[in-house]
Copies of this chain bind each other. A is one copy, B any other.
């Protein structure tokens, strides 16, 4: 509760508009739906601009279903990520209107009513074909958060002309997500071609000394282009989320 709300509440208490109990209640109002196994943060949309997102790994199908229902009930959008095929099947049946992307491992169930217009351009670029699942997770998330998205696949640096011919698309984006495994070199090149922020996503594609994504993660952290930031290995969700935040803000200016 920020100061102006707090001051107003206390003033209303002083002049008798609210009782001590009511003020106490207000000062301690729960904004959390307690499901026992989970404390669903119903305040997050207001605080952070987007509702809580469900991370599928390590959760039973029933747990996920309950959280989805609770968010629906609260009139909030619902996004779930990293769903196993079994979880995806179960949730598809439970929520027939949800969009389930088996390649990207996501479920998207928007709240009812009209959606705000998509705003700001997020471009997702992959180094290889095998990076597509993570790229799709990023696309789904960025759309859910409210940005326009475009996807360019398989333009790794071993054939540098492939990315160079996408220069106009790159330069038109408000934020670029680069998804790459193995050597993870693509963000370094992309970063040097544009003046927008670039979010690099290392993937676990590769073998041997790729170490399930450690190699591209390190490459990206050491990226020589100054406009490149990094997220966790295979974290398409986080890249899509932040890219949409950035792009939407930038687009508001146009």
Interface residues of A (CB under 8 A from B): 2-3, 6-7, 10-11, 13-14, 20, 23-24, 27-28, 30-32, 36-39, 41, 43-44, 47-50, 52-53, 55, 57-59, 63, 82, 127-130, 132, 153-162, 164-165, 167-168, 171, 174, 181-185, 188-189, 191-197, 199, 202, 204-235, 237-239, 241-242, 245-246, 249-254
Contacts and interface: CB of A to CB of B under 8 A. Distances in A.
Given A39-B153, A245-B196, A218 B214 contact: yes
A238 B250 CA distance: 20
Copies of the chain in the assembly: 8
B20 A14 contact: yes
A154 B222 contact: no
A130 B57 CA distance: 7
A157 B180 CA distance: 16
Contacts of A39: 153-155, 159, 162
Given A158-B226, A218-B218, 17 more contacts: A30-B165, A32-B159, A157-B157, A157-B188, A157-B224, A183-B184, A183-B222, A184-B222, A185-B224, A196-B249, A207-B232, A208-B212, A210-B218, A210-B222, A221-B230, A229-B238, A246-B250
A58 B202 CA distance: 15
Contacts of A37: 129, 132, 153-154
Contacts of A242: 197, 226-229
A193 B158 CA distance: 8
A232 B209 contact: yes
Contacts of A218: 209-211, 214-215, 218-219
A185 B188 CA distance: 7
